[in-house]
C-alpha cells in the first residue's frame, strides 16, 4: 500500500507554460505568483525555470520526474533567496533570512522513500538571524556570579546560572554567514557555520530533517568577558536547538565552562592558601622578631641590672673602705691623743716630782 503505480504508457510530447497565483509546495508551504515551463516527453515530466514568491523571498529551480520500473526518480536544482524564516515556520521564535542553492536527487517506491533517499549538495546563507534566549554576554555574567557563590561547582549550579543569563536577551548576527550544505538520507546538513553575535560567536552545524520537519542545530557558543586568571581560550558552552522549526527547544551543556571554572577555582584556592601561608610566615617572622627583641631587651636589662649591682657593690665597697679608713684614722687619732695625753701626764708628773725634789731641805 502507498507504492507508486505502474508507469503510464508513453504518450505524445507535451509543453506548457504554467502560471499560478498560488502553488502548494506541501507541508503548509504555498508559493505565489508562480511561473514555470512544464514538459512531458518519453515518460519524463520536467519543470523548468520555476519562479515564485515564497515566505517574503523568492524560489527558483528546475526538476525532472521519471519512472524506472516501480521507482520514481527525481533530479533537479533550486534556489531560495532571502526568504523569511518565521514565514517558513508559520511563526515561531527564530528570526532571519535564508538563501540557498542546492542540486538534489532521489528515488523510491513511495513518497516516504523519496524523502528518505533525498540527497544533494549546495550551500546556504543566513542573514539578520535572531536567536531567542541567547544573550551574547551571558557566559561572562554567569562566570562572575558563579565566582561569588560558595561551591559553584556543585551539580547543576553553573548550568542554572548560564541558562538564566542566556534567557535575558536574544542574539542577532552582525553579518551574513554562509556554509556548504549536503543532503543525505533526507536530512540537510550545513556546516561548519560561524555566526558572529557581537560579544560572542556560535560555531557549529545545522541540520533539517525533511521527513520529520525537525531542526537540529549543534555548536559552541564562546565569548563574553573572562574573569581575571582565566586560562586557555575564551569561555565556551555547548548550545543547540532541536525540534520543530516553529518551536525548537534549547539544549545546553556547560561541560567546557565547568572545566575552566574548576581550574580557576583551584588556582584561586591555591593563591588563597599561598596568601594564608605567607601571612602565617609573616606572623611567625614578626613573632620571632618580637621574641628576639624581648630577649635582647631582657639581656640589656640584665646587663644593666648587673652593671648597676656591680656599681652599687663597688660604691658600697668604696664607702665601706672610706668608713673603715675613717674609723682607723679616728682610732689612730684617738690613740695618738691618748698617747699625747699620757706623755703630757707623764711630763707633768715628772715636773712635779722634780719640783718636790728641789724644795726639800
The mean pLDDT of 311-316, rounded to a whole number, is: 86
Q: Is the pTM of this model over 0.75?
A: no
Q: Is residue 297 part of a domain?
A: no
As for how many domains the chain has, the answer is: 1
Per-residue pLDDT at 337 exceeds 90: no
Q: Is residue 165 part of a domain?
A: yes
Computed over every residue of the chain, the mean pLDDT equals: 90
The mean pLDDT of 342-349, rounded to a whole number, is: 86
Residue 314 pLDDT class (50, 70, 90 cuts): confident
Residue 4: name the closest of 74, 90, 101, 79 by CA: 74
The mean pLDDT of 326-354, rounded to a whole number, is: 86
Q: Is residue 28 part of a domain?
A: yes
Give the Cα separation of 353 and 341 in Å (integer).
18
pLDDT for 120-154, tens place per residue? 999 999 999 999 999 999 999 999 999 998 888 88
Q: Is residue 8 part of a domain?
A: no
State residue 60's pLDDT score: 98
* Cβ atoms 288, 274 nearer than 8 A: no
- Of residues 313 and 251, the one with the higher pLDDT is 251
* Cβ atoms 30, 22 nearer than 8 A: yes
Q: Is residue 97 part of a domain?
A: yes
Q: Is residue 62 part of a domain?
A: yes
pLDDT for 232-265, tens place per residue? 789 999 999 999 988 999 999 999 899 988 888 8
Share of the chain above pLDDT 70, in %: 98
Per-residue pLDDT at 360 exceeds 60: no
First CA to last CA distance, the chain:
204
DSSP, res 175: S
Number of alpha carbons in the 13 Å side-chain half-sphere of residue 38: 9
The mean pLDDT of 302-311, rounded to a whole number, is: 88
Share of the chain above pLDDT 90, in %: 54
Give the Cα separation of 303 and 310 in Å (integer).
10
Residue 361 pLDDT class (50, 70, 90 cuts): low
* Cβ atoms 50, 24 nearer than 8 A: no
Q: Is residue 248 part of a domain?
A: yes
- Of residues 277 and 360, the one with the higher pLDDT is 277
Highest mean pLDDT among 181-195, 280-294, 333-347: 181-195
Residues paired with 156 in a beta bridge: none
Q: Is residue 307 part of a domain?
A: no
pLDDT for 61-110, tens place per residue? 999 999 988 899 999 999 999 999 999 888 889 999 999 999 999 999 99
Residue 52 pLDDT class (50, 70, 90 cuts): very high
Give the Cα separation of 290 and 283 in Å (integer).
10
φ, ψ (nearest 5 deg) of residue 199: -75, -10
For residue 32, the enclosing domain spans 14-253
State residue 358's pLDDT score: 64
pLDDT for 2-21, tens place per residue? 788 888 888 889 999 999 99
Amino acid at each position: 500500500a502507498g507504492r507508486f503505480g505502474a508507469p503510464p504508457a508513453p504518450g505524445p510530447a507535451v509543453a506548457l507554460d504554467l502560471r499560478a497565483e498560488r502553488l502548494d509546495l506541501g507541508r503548509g508551504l504555498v508559493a505565489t505568483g508562480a511561473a514555470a515551463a512544464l514538459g512531458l516527453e518519453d515518460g519524463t515530466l520536467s519543470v523548468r525555470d520555476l519562479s515564485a514568491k515564497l515566505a517574503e523571498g523568492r524560489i527558483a529551480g528546475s526538476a525532472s520526474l521519471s519512472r524506472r520500473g516501480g521507482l520514481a526518480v527525481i533530479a533537479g536544482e533550486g534556489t531560495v533567496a532571502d526568504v523569511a524564516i518565521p514565514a517558513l515556520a508559520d511563526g515561531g521564535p527564530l528570526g532571519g533570512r535564508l538563501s540557498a542553492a542546492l542540486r538534489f536527487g532521489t528515488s523510491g517506491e513511495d513518497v516516504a522513500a523519496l524523502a528518505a533517499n533525498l540527497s544533494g549538495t549546495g550551500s546556504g546563507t543566513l542573514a539578520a538571524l535572531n536567536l531567542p534566549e541567547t544573550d551574547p554576554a551571558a557566559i561572562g555574567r554567569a562566570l562572575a556570579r558563579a565566582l561569588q557563590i560558595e561551591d559553584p561547582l556543585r551539580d547543576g549550579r553553573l548550568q542554572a546560572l548560564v541558562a538564566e543569563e542566556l534567557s535575558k536577551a536574544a542574539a542577532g548576527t552582525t553579518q551574513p554567514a554562509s556554509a556548504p550544505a549536503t543532503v543525505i538520507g533526507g536530512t540537510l546538513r550545513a556546516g561548519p557555520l560561524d555566526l558572529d553575535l557581537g560579544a560572542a560567536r556560535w560555531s557549529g552545524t545545522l541540520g533539517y530533517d525533511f521527513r520529520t520537519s525537525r531542526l537540529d542545530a549543534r555548536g559552541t557558543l564562546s565569548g563574553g568577558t573572562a574573569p581575571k586568571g582565566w586560562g586557555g581560550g575564551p569561555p565556551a558552552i555547548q548550545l543547540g536547538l532541536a525540534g520543530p522549526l516553529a518551536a525548537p527547544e534549547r539544549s545546553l551543556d556547560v561541560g567546557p565552562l565547568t572545566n575552566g571554572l574548576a581550574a580557576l577555582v583551584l588556582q584561586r584556592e591555591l593563591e588563597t592558601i599561598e596568601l594564608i601561608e605567607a601571612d602565617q610566615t609573616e606572623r611567625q617572622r614578626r613573632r620571632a622578631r618580637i621574641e628576639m627583641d624581648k630577649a635582647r631587651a631582657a639581656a640589656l636589662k640584665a646587663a644593666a641590672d648587673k652593671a648597676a649591682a656591680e656599681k652599687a657593690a663597688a660604691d658600697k665597697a668604696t664607702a665601706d673602705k672610706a668608713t673603715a679608713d675613717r674609723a682607723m684614722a679616728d682610732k689612730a687619732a684617738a690613740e695618738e691623743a691618748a698617747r699625747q695625753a699620757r706623755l703630757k701626764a707623764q711630763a707633768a708628773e715628772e715636773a712635779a716630782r722634780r719640783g718636790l725634789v728641789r724644795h726639800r731641805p
